[in-house]
Amino acid sequence: MSSDATTTDVIDGETLSWRDRAILRAVARGSAELVFGAEPDLLIDGRCCCDQTAAHRLAHAGLIAPRATATVGQRVAACLTPAGTAKLSA
């Protein structure tokens, strides 16, 4: 990722971009769902997120998670973890 003026924070050695923060805000407002799996797919307002790589990175970093226990392939509401809330408010 670039280190220009559009970046604001760091997760796992990579810069948290404006897009990452926009994804976190969408999850925080309750309009996101995850299709649970090893690489969880993110849907926002019922549509696939345009940057699944960012969604995967945020999920693997523990910033977003399924709101409920899910099985592989199940679509469930997404939520911010405490770490995700902290990153978003930083």
Q: Cβ atoms within 10 A of the Cβ of 10, count?
A: 12
pLDDT top residue among 75 and 36? 75
SS (H, E, C) 62-81: CCEEECCCCCCCCEEEEEEC
Span 2-22, pLDDT tens digits? 333 343 456 655 678 999 999
Q: What local confidence, expressed as pLDDT, does residue 68 receive?
A: 86
Q: Cβ atoms within 10 A of the Cβ of 13, count?
A: 5
Residues 17 and 23: their CA atoms lie apart, in Å, by 10
Q: What local confidence, expressed as pLDDT, does residue 35 receive?
A: 93
| Paired tokens of 49 | 């997120």
Span 18-72, pLDDT tens digits? 999 999 999 999 999 999 888 889 999 999 999 999 999 999 999 999 988 888 8
Task: Using a cut of 0.85, tell me whether the model's pTM lies above it.
Answer: no
Q: Collapsing DSSP states into helix, strand and coil, what is residue 43?
A: strand
Q: What local confidence, expressed as pLDDT, does residue 5 receive?
A: 34
Q: Cβ atoms within 10 A of the Cβ of 33, count?
A: 22
